[in-house]
Each structure stands twice: as C-alpha cells, then as structure tokens.
Amino acid sequence: MGGIGVVTNPRSRRNRRNPGLQHQLAYVLGEQGQLAAPTDLDGLRSAMVRFKERRIDVLAINGGDGTSHVVFSTMLSVYQDTPMPAVALLRGGTMNTVASGLGIRGRPQALLGRLVEQYHSGEPFRVAERNLIVVGEHAGFLFGNGLLSHFLEVYYDSDDPNPARAVWLLVRAGASALVGGKFIRHLFRPVRAQVTVGPWRWTQGTWMTIAAGTVDDIGLGFRPFYRCLDHPGYMHAVGVACGPMALIGQLPNIWRARPIEHPDVVDAVADRMVIEADEPLSYMLDGDFHVGGQRLEVTIGPRVRLIVV
C-alpha cells in the first residue's frame, strides 16, 4: 500500500474562491493516492482512519494553519502510538504561517505536483522536524492567549485577511498606543492567571499574553520563539506583562530573533506549561480559537516530519 493521502478543506476561504481546485488536486495526485474533502469532523476522522489502514507515507494538507491544526488534532487521536506519515503543507489557506516559516512557497497545485514527482522518483524529501503542542484534544505549533489571540481575532474580522492587513493593524496599534486609544486597550486586555513553566513558577499574576511555540516564526518575519529550534522536544514559552509602548519598543528584537530585554517579559524552554485562572481561559492554537477551563495544561506532543517542497 503506502502512497500519498490528501486532505483538502472545501470550507477554507481560498478553496471557496476556487471551487475547481479540488478536482485539479485530484488530477495532479493521480491514481496512486487518495484525496478526501471532508465537510465535518466525522468525515475527517473517517478519512484519517482510511489513510492509517492504507499506511500512507505522506499526508498533504490543502488548507491554512487552522485546517492543519484540526488535521493534526485528528491525526493524533487516530494514529495514537502508531508512527504518523510525513506531512506536506500545501498553503491552501488564508493564513499559512507554519508553511511560510519553513520556506514553503507556491500554489497548492504546484506544491502537490512537486511532491508527487519527488515521491514517485524516489528522490529524498527535505524534511523539517517539529514537535506538536497539545492542549487537551487539540494540537498545533503556536499557542497564545491575551494579546496574541486578540490580534488574530481582529485580523480575521475581515473578508480578506492578508499580510498587508496584518501590517496595517500593527501600524494602527502603534498609533493607538501613542494616545492610549480604544484599539490598543482592546488588544491589551489583561489575562489574570498563575503560570508554571516546567519547574519554574512565574511570579507575575497579570499578563498581556502567555504564548508558546515549537516553530519560531509567527508571521511577517517576527520570531519570538527562536529558542525552540535549538531545543528539539521542547517549546519556547514567553510571558509578557509589560505595557504596549514597552512591547512595541521590543519589536526589533522579536523580528531579529533576539531576547526581549524587559523585566516584565519572561521566557523559558520547557516541555510543559500550566496556566490557572479564576475563570475559563480562552486561547489560540494555530489561528483557531478555543475556550478551556480554569486550568490549561500545555504540553509537548509527538515530533512531526514536515516536508519542505
């Protein structure tokens, strides 16, 4: 058996704009692979069970970060202790942060075409290995609450979220911070929680954001989680308790993947983070939003092989 399995998300913004893309991908894939276009979680789980039974070698995901997050979560549930296939991200969504950070460029059809050609020629794939972050039944590579979640909520509140809009929001946030405006106050709504990262108890009780990543790039070249690349099997966790102007002043360091030099910003490399609050905690995982309980346990999951095509 073996072969390539493809999951395409017919509900992603980009795929809705190009309804013929599914048929194009099926044509490129040919008869040596299987394509699934599930419309709900039950359909996705059934597709993953079929792929597991077929013992596919490669799983290609046509969707953005949110789609990949749901697929990885389902894959963990289905495969459990069974080795997972290598994964190729086809950049089929509005937000493709993980793929971009790995240097993956191109349209889904072209990426799948290169993948199929390499697979059938026996040419070795270039692979980047990253650990998943697991929160309950959800899995991804980028976790965050507070500021990080609030920014993405505003970013997605548009019919056409794109990098230019993200830059505009950063400029708008900076201008709002100068005058203490409503927009910056909305982004910097505080999170009151106790945080334990590995063996360390962070002393602050009020945060602007608590975040972690097993990929370094969060978009637009900003790399707050740069330490994760030197520590396989761990996440780089960052807690920000400073105000807007102080954080804006640190953006050059974040962009250059350097330490954030402020006493109200802490970070650590660990395999586990626990966040405890007096109310339910909302959070973001790879661009998807969730609401958990009063206690969130953020842990390191399996290591995934990501094909760079």
Per-residue model confidence (pLDDT) at position 188: 82
Does residue 11 surpass a pLDDT of 80? Answer: no
Domain ranges of the chain: 4-125, 142-301
Does residue 16 surpass a pLDDT of 80? Answer: no
d(CA 271, CA 236): 9
* 163 or 244, which is more confident: 244
Using a pLDDT cut of 70, give the percent of the chain over it: 98
CB 95 within 8 A of CB 287: yes
Does residue 238 surpass a pLDDT of 70? Answer: yes
Mean pLDDT of the chain: 90
Per-residue model confidence (pLDDT) at position 159: 66
Residue 2 pLDDT grade (very low, low, confident, very high; cuts 50, 70, 90)? confident
pLDDT in tens, 167-203: 787 888 888 878 888 888 878 888 999 999 999 999 9
Using a pLDDT cut of 90, give the percent of the chain over it: 63
* 177 or 25, which is more confident: 25
Does residue 291 surpass a pLDDT of 70? Answer: yes
Residue 295 pLDDT grade (very low, low, confident, very high; cuts 50, 70, 90)? very high
d(CA 237, CA 273): 8
pLDDT in tens, 89-124: 999 887 888 999 999 999 999 999 999 999 999 999
- Poorest-confidence range of 83-87, 157-161, 223-227, 292-296? 157-161
d(CA 258, CA 270): 18
CB 192 within 8 A of CB 206: yes
Mean pLDDT of 153-159: 73
Packing angle between helix 163-179 and helix 147-156, nearest 10 degrees? 120
Mean pLDDT of 128-143: 96
Per-residue model confidence (pLDDT) at position 160: 67
Does residue 53 surpass a pLDDT of 90? Answer: yes
Per-residue model confidence (pLDDT) at position 157: 73
Give domain 4-125's CATH superfamily: Probable inorganic polyphosphate/atp-NAD kinase; domain 1 (3.40.50.10330)
The domain 142-301: what is its CATH number? 2.60.200.40
